[in-house]
Amino acid sequence: MADSRVFDLDQLSAAMEAPPPDQPGGVENTAPTVLPESNGQAHNTLVPQSDGEPVRVSLDSGYDDNDGDSTLSTTPIHDHAKEFREENGRTYHGYKSEKRYLLPNDVREEERLNIQHHSLRLAIGDKLFLAPIEQLTEVFDVGAGTGIWAVSMGDAYPAARIEGIDLSPIQPQWVPPNVTFLREDLDDDWHSPGRFDLIHTREMNGIAIKDWTIFFERAYASMKPGGWVECQECDKDIRSDDNTIPKDSVVLQWLRLREQGFEKAGMTGRCYPENMAHSMRKAGFINVNVLSFKMPIGPWAKDPMLHECGSYTLGGLLDHVQGLSLRVFTEHLGWTQEELEVLLMDVRKEWKRGDIHSYYPIYVVYGQKPPRANEDMDFPMSP
C-alpha cells in the first residue's frame, strides 16, 4: 500500500537523480569543506524527533521484491551472468570465486548498494568526498560495486577521468564518457604508479580489504604527489545514545553472530578507524583525518536530512539483511538458510518497532601523499 511506505522508489530515484547543491547540473564544482580534526564527536547531530513517542514505521519495507518495476537496478556492462555463482537463491562473484567475497552481486544487492549510496552521501553532508582536494584529474574507485559513486563523480567532474574496479561486472552500461570500469581484483597489481589524485573506497573495511597497510602502500605508490586517499567506511556496530536498544536485542545477537562468521572467514566485519589512520600514516600519508558520523536506522531523527537517511537505511536493511547474512551464516557458522530466515524475521520485527533510536557509525578517513613526495622517491611499491 503506497501510503504506508517508509519511502517509495520513485521518490528515491528522483532524489538520486537530482543534482545536489554542491555539484554540477547548474552548480560549480567546489572543493568540499574541510572539517576539523576528529575529537571523538560525530560530525552530525542525531536527536530523536520526539522523546518517548515511538516513530511509526511501516511494516512494508518500502518496495516489493517481485514487482519488477525497480528503477534502481543497473544493467551489467556485458552479460556475465554465466560467470556468477548461484547459492541459496542469490548470486556471487564468479571471477576469482575462490576469494569468497561474502556478499551477493545480484539485482537485490545492487538495490542495497544504490540505496546506501544515497543515505551515506546525505549522512556526510551531501558530499561525494570530504578530503580538501584542490584538483581532480584522475580518480580511482576501488571496489566500485554498482559504480554509482564513480558515475556521480563523472557527472560532477566532467574534466576528470574516473576509473572503477570490482570483482563483479555489475556496473551500468551507459556511463558518462569520463568513467570506465574494469573487472579487477584489488589485490592484483594496480600498474598505475603516480597516476591518481584521488583514490576512494566505500564499505570495504572488514569485508573486502583485509590489510589496510598493504592497501595504503599501493595507494601511495599509485598516487600523484599531493593526491588524497579517502575511505568512507561503515561500522555495523549498532548502538543507541539513549539506551533504547533492549538488553535482549535480537538485532545485537544477529550482529555478534555475523561478526563471528566474518572472523571465521578471516575478516572482522567491523571498522576500526584509528587503525586505518595509523596504517595511512605508516604508508607515508600526511594530513590524516578521521571524521565520524551517525547513520540512524529508521526515520526517528529530528534533523530532516538524517530523518531521510534513516528511512533509506531502514528500508535497505529490511529488504537486504538476508544478503548481508546468507553466505556468512551458511558457510562459516553452519546454519541452514531456514534457520537464518527465522532469526531474520525477528531482526526485522525489532527494526520496525519505531521506539528504538539505533544508529551505526560511519567513518571517513582521509590522508594526503606529501606534495613533494616524488623528489625523495621515498616509498617503494608494496610487493
Ligand X SMILES: C[S@@+](CC[C@H](N)C(=O)[O-])C[C@H]1O[C@@H](n2cnc3c(N)ncnc32)[C@H](O)[C@@H]1O
- Please classify residue 218 by burial: count the beta carbons closer than 10 Å to its beta carbon, then call 0-12 exposed, 13-18 middle and 19+ buried: buried
Q: Which is nearer to ligand X, 46 or 151 (CB)?
A: 151
Q: Which is nearer to ligand X, 127 or 357 (CB)?
A: 127
H or E element: which one contains 132?
Answer: none
Q: What 3-state DSSP class applies to 227?
A: strand
Return the C-alpha cell found at 111.
Answer: 538495490
Contact call for residue 167 and ligand X (CB under 6 A)? yes
Contact call for residue 295 and ligand X (CB under 6 A)? no
Q: Which is nearer to ligand X, 6 or 208 (CB)?
A: 208
Q: In this structure, which amino acid lies at residue 258?
A: R
Q: Which residues contact 125 (CB under 8 A, 6 or more apart)?
A: 33, 43, 44
CA gap 311, 343 in Å, rounded: 22
CA gap 285, 288 in Å, rounded: 7
Contact call for residue 165 and ligand X (CB under 6 A)? yes
Contact call for residue 117 and ligand X (CB under 6 A)? yes
Contact call for residue 58 and ligand X (CB under 6 A)? no
Contact call for residue 47 and ligand X (CB under 6 A)? no
**Which residue is listed with cell 586505518?**
276
Cβ contact 165:182 at 8 Å: yes
Q: Which is nearer to ligand X, 202 or 224 (CB)?
A: 202
Residue span 68-97 as binding mask against ligand X, x where in contact by CB under 6 A, dash where not: -------------------------x----
Pick the binder of ligand X from 76, 143, 269, 361 (CB under 6 A). Answer: 143
Contact call for residue 288 and ligand X (CB under 6 A)? no
In angstroms, give the least distance from the CB of 202 to ligand X. 3
In angstroms, give the least distance from the CB of 224 to ligand X. 22
Q: Which is nearer to ligand X, 105 or 249 (CB)?
A: 105
In angstroms, give the least distance from the CB of 144 to ligand X. 6
Q: Give the torsion through C-alpha atoms of 227, 228, 229, 230, to 10 deg.
A: -150
In angstroms, give the least distance from the CB of 4 to ligand X. 28
Contact call for residue 136 and ligand X (CB under 6 A)? no
- Site residues for ligand X, window 173-212 (CB under 6 A)? 185-187, 202-204, 208
Q: Which residues of 267-283 are buried (b: 16+ CB within 10 A; e: fewer)?
A: bbbbbbbeebbebbeeb
**Which residue is listed with cell 544508529?**
359
Cβ contact 101:124 at 8 Å: no
Contact call for residue 168 and ligand X (CB under 6 A)? yes
Residue ranges binding ligand X (CB under 6 A):
93, 99, 101, 103, 113, 117, 143-145, 148-149, 165-168, 185-187, 202-204, 208
